[in-house]
Amino acid sequence: MKIDKLHAVRVIETIEELQQLLSRNERKGATVGFVPTMGFLHEGHLSLVKHAKEQNDIVVMSIFVNPAQFGPGEDFESYPRDRERDLKLAAEGGVDIVFMPAVQEMYPAEGGIRILPGPQADVLCGASRPGHFDGVLKVVLKLFNIVDPDRSYFGMKDAQQLAIIETFVRDFNLKTVIIRVPIVREKDGLAKSSRNVNLTEVERKEAPIIHQALQKGEKLHTEGRAPNQIEHEVMNFITANSSGKIDYVKMLSYPELQEVTNDRTEVILAVAVQFSKARLIDNIIMSTKDGSYVSNDDEQ
């Protein structure tokens, strides 16, 4: 087993080694919480770790920039990477094991078998990124089989991805339990993201407009405005206050990601905005439960 002594965290690079370490016999009843990431860690990732530590005996984090979920012309090569910084933050956060496989380790051969997501992948990010969620489910299934976690932690910022993974786990009887973790934001409201470093100085000042627009949409929803009216108002607000190009502004049922109907108690208002070198996504999930209005937008 490879150990990074500088950061006092176990770093494992091969599937065989990790599976041996985390076999059910070796665990002796200890529970494993899993935090899958693509690295360049920030407070959002560490929030996942915090939740995992509170609920499990062992915390495993994967750091793997998954080429299968990047399409032609997307930012796979330029996606930010910093091994030493990531290991330091993982150790400080209390991660026990970091799995950092090479691409060849994860994808030594291509047999042509695909995992195709359902209609949840045809909207929002999936509409403009064909094949993206095929690649997400491919790597997620591999990681679940490798780590065999009791619980797996995903942030609500990637709400479409989370909905698809929850459906995948349910429909295919995967053993892990998916835990939703609220969005973590900068003080000005911008959702934490590894891609935020790619914003120019001007764009970084504009980016909080996205969250402000979502809050405006949330207020309109509480007032009973129709989804298409809310989408229109949010789009106009972003366009008027930033240089970003809107990919989508959409209000849908959650987690089904279908057209909102009167009987739906949980809905998502989701946004994607393309800046010069960074595509930012954000959302607010709103629901009415027991007559009370609640929102997922509660962790700063």
CATH class of 200-295: alpha beta
Residue 212 has pLDDT above 70, yes or no: yes
pLDDT of 17 reads 97
pLDDT of 291 reads 46
Dihedral pair phi/psi, residue 205, rounded to 5°: -70, -30
58-63 and 97-99 beta bridge pairing: parallel
Residue 300 has pLDDT above 60, yes or no: no
Residue 116 has pLDDT above 90, yes or no: yes
Residues linked to residue 37 through DSSP beta bridges, in sequence order: 63
111 in a known ligand binding site: no
Q: Alpha-carbon distance 199 to 253, whole Å?
A: 31
Query: 3-state DSSP call for residue 57?
Result: coil
Q: Alpha-carbon distance 117 to 93, whole Å?
A: 33
Residue 1 has pLDDT above 60, yes or no: no
> pLDDT by residue (tens digit) across 120-169?
999 999 999 999 999 999 999 999 999 999 999 999 999 999 999 999 99
157 in a known ligand binding site: yes
> pLDDT by residue (tens digit) across 239-297?
999 999 999 999 999 999 999 987 777 999 999 999 999 999 999 999 865 544 556 66
| Tokens 């504009």 found at | 206
Residues carrying an active site annotation: 45
pLDDT of 289 reads 58
HSE-up of residue 47 (Cα within 13 Å, Cβ side): 19
2 in a known ligand binding site: no
194 in a known ligand binding site: yes
Residue range 55-71: average pLDDT?
Answer: 96
58-63 and 32-37 beta bridge pairing: parallel
Cβ atoms of 40 and 128 closer than 8 Å? no
Least confident of 2-11, 73-82, 159-168, 277-286: 2-11
Residue 34 has pLDDT above 70, yes or no: yes
What does pTM read for this prediction?
A: 0.91
State the chain's maximal CA–CA distance in angstroms. Answer: 59
Contacts of 11 (CB under 8 A, 6+ apart): 2, 3, 4, 87, 97, 98, 100
Cβ atoms of 281 and 271 closer than 8 Å? yes
Q: Where are the domains of the chain?
A: 3-181, 200-295
pLDDT of 73 reads 84
Q: Which CATH superfamily is domain 3-181 in?
A: HUPs (3.40.50.620)
50 in a known ligand binding site: no
Dihedral pair phi/psi, residue 271, rounded to 5°: -140, 145
Q: Alpha-carbon distance 251 to 285, whole Å?
A: 9
